[in-house]
Structure 1
Amino acid sequence: MAPLLREKLTGIALGVSLGILGTVAAAEPQHGIAMYGDPALPPDFVSLPYANPDAPQGGQIVTANVGTYDSLNPFIRKGRVPWQLRFFLGESLMGRSLDEPFSLYGVLAESIETGPNREWVEFTLRPEARFSDGSPVTVEDVMWSYETLGTVGHPRYRGFWDKIESMEQTGPLSVRFTFNTEDRELALLAGMRPILKKAQWEGVDFAESTTEVVPITSSPYVIDDFEPGRFLSLRRNPDYWGSDIPFRRGTNNIDEVRLEFFGDETAAFEAFKVGEVNSNREFNVARWEQQYDFPAIQSGDVVKSVLPHARPSGMTGFVMNTRRDVFEDWRVRDAMMHIFNFEFINEAMTGSAQPRITSYWSNSPLGMSDGPAEGRVREFLEPFAAELIPGTLEGYTLPVSDGSERNRAGTAAALAQMEAAGWTVQDGVMSNAEGEPFTFDILLQTGASENQAIVDMFVESLGRIGVTPTISVVDGAQFKERTDVYDFDMTYYRRGVSLSPGNEQYGYYGAESADVTGGRNLMGVRSAAVDAMIGRLLTSESQDDFVAAVKALDRALTAGRYVIPIYQWNISRIAHAKELRYPEYIPIFGDWPGWQPDVWWYESE
């Protein structure tokens, strides 16, 4: 099937949720909400535009996962949890459309109402909403969930809780949140917290990880069977309460979603080739081109789908921990950028088929512009000129090598920046004035063979400037423990961003999150300019100011040289059994949580 991607970039994509704010209507219950203006779908919409309301139900989808798990609670910091569980078990008051930058529609809530300036938001629950054990979802469950997640849950939930002035039941099925700060996004975030069954957790320590307690939720799928290190099976709940609400029509069609676990990427791929796994998302373009010729492909039993999307690149690469002395100086980080020979690595890994990430919001209208900052972007950044890293205002682009292995120009630039930072090569070793060698440790996770191959080439380049790092390869549990407390110098980093950045940016890059255990600010950014740009994008009342604030944030982060970027994926590559189908229409977010397996179905010929 030929996927269709709506032309929603620049003019249309931003227009849906970033349109210039008009006059504020009087508060009244609505079926949905957008960051700006109105949601695209009307109150009587039948289904999401990228779902097939006539899709058949049944079948199985099996995916491969590397590693293991020791917890089934995705809502706390402790433990290793299959990442998919957060989306399978976390049904919320509202649901996000993948075809709009930031619009929500009712799921557990039948309506949403806000104050004139979104200083409060009120939700009314659907009377038919039920947990998987058949008990009703109540306002008491909602309020308990918000407080529990906000106080002892995963850190991603706590920032929102701190901004709630009051939470009160306003009717048999309604609850109101009043905020203590001006922030238009809070009314939307309030609809996106998972709702759990309060009675299940009475006498149980919610913050402790375990596989003995399976969370009871109202979601379409329930955990059916599992064995850590081997598999986890989720079954479609035949008694799911919400099959006929518009947001759910045409979704959750597959009877079983099974996660198989393997020790490394090679074993996972072999399992796919022999049919133990029937859907595989491929990130290595060279493998996609060269190794997807096994018998199931040749016979047509497995098909290759290439899927477009219009979301930002985000940032993928190797992050430098600025809490550590070795990477505190931006000139040292800049030297690492120069010595990392991306063009040579890209040729070796992908045949130069993958473009490089150029900024956090590259591949989107929110990405920083080339050259010096201008207009509102410069106006927003100039008050912080004294603290900004060179290139932020003047313009910054990543170094580009000639593609040769020696990368002479990059090596020379790296040596110059190291010398400017107080490091010179002495007897073949990069050292400071006291003769202490410059070295650092690169933390990798077991089974990440592609990252290991990239790091091996990076280490070879580092040797040309007298730097010999160490490489620590640890299992998933140790990797999480160490990154949770920022016990690393450099490590692999992946941060997805969206067309509607909001409060989560404080968690990613805010100064207050830099020392939060289990936080997401791995690079340790502490920048008044970064915090101010996040504040501006949250309080902007026009499209122009919002876009300018994100572009300014993108500049500050990119010129900060915190992450050595590698390649971006502007398309998704999924090989899957021919029986697994998806709608022809692809949303602007493309292959993203909420799409596979949500709107897929299984159909035998």
Structure 2
Amino acid sequence: MNKLLFATLMSLTVTMGHAAIISSNAIALHGKPTQPDNFKAFPYARPDAPKGGELRLRALGTFDSTNPFINKGNPVEGTDYLYDSLTVAALDEPFARYGLLADRIDRDPEDPSWITYHLNPAARFSDGSPVTADDVVFTFDLIRKEGAPNLRNYYNEISKVEALDKQTVKFSFKNKNNRELSLIVGEMSILPKQFWSKRTFNSTNLDIPIGSGPYLLTKLDPGKSATYTRNPKYWAANLPVNRGKFNFDTIKFVYYQDMTVAFEGFKAGQYDFLTEFKAKTWATEYTFPAVKQGLVKKVEQPNFNPAGMQGFVYNLRRPLFQDRRVRQALSYAFDFEWSNRNLFFSAYSRSQSYFDNSELAATGLPSPAELALLNPLKAQVPPEVFTTPFQAPKTDGSGNVRANLMAAQQLLQSAGWTIKNGKLVNAKNEPFKFEILLVQPEFVRIVEPFTRNLARLGIEVSIRPVDSSQYINRERNFDFDMVVEGFAQSLSPGNEQRGFWGSQAADTPGSHNLAGLKSPAVDVLVDKIVGARSREDLVTATRALDRVLLWNHLVIPQYHNRSYRLAYWDFLEQPAIKPKYSPGIDFWWANAAKQARIRAAQGKR
């Protein structure tokens, strides 16, 4: 047999057999990563961005721990800067991961039950010790045993993590249809075994941890600030994924008790950059001298991410909210149109989906592909899923909600609630009353019009703002009637949906299944999302899930904004090309001459 024929036959064997392994530096959930293997930098980076200067950011509440991986305490902001992961996300692709600690990834596209990561031999922790496969195995064993519930939920389908040699680690998975999990394991911060094996992991403390990331935690002022200093010996500074990134010498998080005080701090020059979440503030309060003098910039940058869902979240663990008709009725009392006009300067769009602002949002009636998923579940989901496009209740914005309240009364009456002496009561003469738990005092003005309309229905509602520590503890333990919360979504939803809606997560303290939903049909649809083999299948399954969630009335949808509202002192600069799915602050830099002048001006304020 000649050499050419032999080589051809061997090539066919590898292609046709089970050993068609792909080895690359990057992977995508569906399709291929955008950047080639030999790319130099991300397109939204300026590779020669100047290094130096200081970036100060705001943080809210307080902190009592440097460990963000457990379900205890309030972790300090910024710990992501301490740790590298096996891979890093691209900020302009739906779900692509590029090698960081890992310089090569082996996988079989037809068999997602395993993946192998090969570590970069140059990878080092900040103490100079190498990052090894043992550290990766140690990290996942530790997190799966003692980590926060949301992390344990992410990784509970890992059957084995094994070090094949010093720099090679293989993950094996229980579910051969969970195509996303092989990418998700690449997102986990890798912890140094030599540091954590000598400490109690599942306890709060303010120890300074060792990591492999671009910054070192150099100063903690408990309750006031945390300072990170760029590691001059950072092993990955010149990798393509990091060129033009991590440009500030120091990053400092300055703590405030609430948003109002924090804004005054920004005006006084106590920190440098913020994303503004309050429409009223954005519309009326950026008139202070630094703005007029051109020292502070105010820009709106397009946001192409799914908006997710922010809303009043019911706790279905409470008997009061277990009837879907009751939950639907209360939604008629939230007058978004009036609030948008009178409180938000018409800045927002009403949320009509858990995946608004994206192709993942359900619209109209189910498509034939969606019906193929939904029809077998017909007896387990609300009938409106098949007959009626979801639409949150609307008003004319005048404040006259009589028609809406009449619709709410009919639903409440059908659920066994009647008005007696001005109070809504059930057959046992028990009053309808509940509490809305808030962590932001400034949100009271948004909630009060809602509670006034509920009072017209005979419902007694108390608003209870609490500090961040109490709020976190009560939310972790599902100790609330209703909260205002959000469910952030990506363009590639997957395993995190189990934490949001999965039946198992409903009974897991610390999970994000705040509503306490237990639905076999939702569990099936989440499995379809996780196991989607193509982008088309993913979109179809997500739209089907969206419909079922909406018609279960787990939340009263609020609103969203389709741009980032950014304010910053005018020494900060950013690349000409902006990432699609993030403000990309880690790719910004300081103009040294401008920073000196602005710091001088800030010192006079």
Q: Structure 1: which amino acid aligns with 2:385?
A: T
- Kindly indicate whether residue 73 of structure 2 is the aligned counterpart of residue 79 of structure 1: yes
Matched, 1:43 2:31: no
Q: Is residue 194 from structure 1 mapped to residue 218 from structure 2 by the alignment?
A: no
Q: Give the counterpart of 1:208 among 186, 203, 209.
A: 203
- Post-superposition offset of 1:458: 1.1
Cα distance in 2 for residues equivalent to 1:473 and 1:236:
37
Aligned equivalents of 1:205, 1:276: Cα separation in 2: 36
Instruction: Determine which of 101, 106, 116 is the counterpart of 1:108.
Output: 101
Larger radius of gyration: 2
Aligned residue number for residue 368 of structure 2: 375
Aligned residue for 1:93?
86
Letter in 2 for 1:408: R
Match of 1:357 in 2: 351
Q: Tell me the CA shift for residue 310 of structure 1.
A: 1.2
Measured after TM superposition, the shift of residue 228 of structure 1 is 1.9
In terms of mean alpha carbon deviation, does 154-163 or 533-542 score higher?
Answer: 154-163
1:169-201 CA-to-partner distances (Å, cap 9, x unmatched) read: 222311111111121112111211110111112
What secondary structure is seen at the aligned counterpart in 1 of 2:328?
helix
**Matched residue type, 1:509:** W
Report how far residue 76 of structure 1 moved: 1.1
Correspondence 1:311 to 2:278: no
The answer (yes or no) to whether the contact 1:167–1:177 under 8 Å persists in 2 is yes
2:444/2:463 contact within 8 Å kept: no
Match of 1:400 among 394, 398, 401: 394
Q: Is the 8 A contact 1:95 1:106 kept in 2?
A: yes
* Superposition pairs of residues 472-487 of structure 1, within 5 angstroms: 472-487=464-479
- Paired amino acid for 1:305: V
Counterpart code for 2:185: A
**Which residue of the partner structure matches residue 13 of structure 1?**
none
Match in the other structure for 1:19: none
Structural mapping, 1:200-279, within 5 Å:
200-211=195-206, 213-279=207-273
**Superposed displacement of residue 24, structure 1:** 9.6
The residue identity in structure 2 corresponding to 1:375 is P
Q: Does 1:568 align with 2:554?
A: no
Q: Counterpart of 1:14?
A: none
1:545 corresponds in structure 2 to: 537
Larger deviation, residues 289-298 vs 391-400: 391-400
1:459, 1:28 → 2: CA distance? 57
Which 5+ residue runs of structure 1 have no aligned equivalent?
A: 1-22
Give the Cα–Cα distance (whole angstroms) in 2 for the partners of residues 543 and 279 of structure 1: 36
Q: How much does 1:25 deviate?
A: 8.7
Superposed CA deviations along residues 304-352 of structure 1, whole A, max 9, x for unmatched, are 1211021111011210001101111111110111111111122222122
Find the aligned partners of 2:557 and 2:78 in 1 and give their Cα distance.
25
2:427 corresponds to 1:454: no
Identify the residue that residue 118 of structure 1 maps to in structure 2. Answer: 112
The residue identity in structure 1 corresponding to 2:107 is T
- Per the alignment, residue 47 of structure 2 pairs with 53
Letter in 2 for 1:151: K
CA shift in 2, pair 1:420/1:84, >3 Å: farther
State whether structure 2 residue 590 is matched by structure 1 residue 602.
yes
Deviation at 1:83, TM superposition (A): 4.5
Q: Deviations over 1:349-405 (max 9, x none)?
A: 2122211111111110110012x2221112211212122124222222111012122
Q: Residue 602 of structure 1: CA displacement?
A: 0.6
Secondary structure of 1:50 counterpart? coil
How much does 1:117 deviate?
A: 1.3
Q: Which amino acid is the alignment partner of residue 476 of structure 2?
A: D
Following the alignment from structure 2 to structure 1, what is the Cα–Cα distance between the partners of residues 457 and 400? Answer: 11
**Equivalent in 284, 287, 308 of residue 290 of structure 1:** 284
Per-residue deviation, residues 445-481 of structure 1 (Å, max 9, x unmatched) = 2xx1332111111111111111111222221111111
Aligned counterpart in structure 1 of residue 23 of structure 2, from 20, 29, 34: 29
**Equivalent residue for 1:414?**
408
**For each residue in 1:184-221, what CA deviation from the matched residue of structure 2 results, as whole angstroms up to 9, or x when unmatched?**
1121112111101111123311011111x222110001
- Relative distance call for 1:99 and 1:25 in structure 2 (3 A) is farther
**Does residue 1:525 correspond to 2:517, yes or no?**
yes
Given the two structures, how large is their TM-score scaled by the length of structure 1? Answer: 0.93
Aligned equivalents of 2:76 and 2:65: distance in 1? 8
SS of corresponding position for 1:425: strand
Question: Which whole-Å CA distance do the structure 2 matches of 1:210 and 1:362 have between them?
Answer: 39
**TM-score scaled to structure 2, two decimals?**
0.93
Q: Is the 8 A contact 1:307 1:590 kept in 2?
A: no
Verify the 8 A CA contact 1:330 1:389 in the aligned structure 2.
Answer: no
Of 88-97 and 312-321, more deviation after overlay is shown by 88-97
Letter of the structure 2 residue corresponding to residue 105 of structure 1: Y
Q: Once the 2 structures are TM-superposed, how far is the Cα of residue 265 of structure 1 from its aligned partner? A: 1.6
Q: How far, CA to CA, are the matches of 2:126 and 2:505 in structure 1?
A: 35
- Bigger shift: residues 507-516 or 536-545: 536-545
Tell me, in whole angstroms, the C-alpha distance in 2 between the residues paired with 1:83 and 1:556.
35
Displacement of 1:267 in angstroms is: 1.1
Deviations 1:127-179 (A, max 9, x none): 11111111111111111011101110122221343212222222231111111
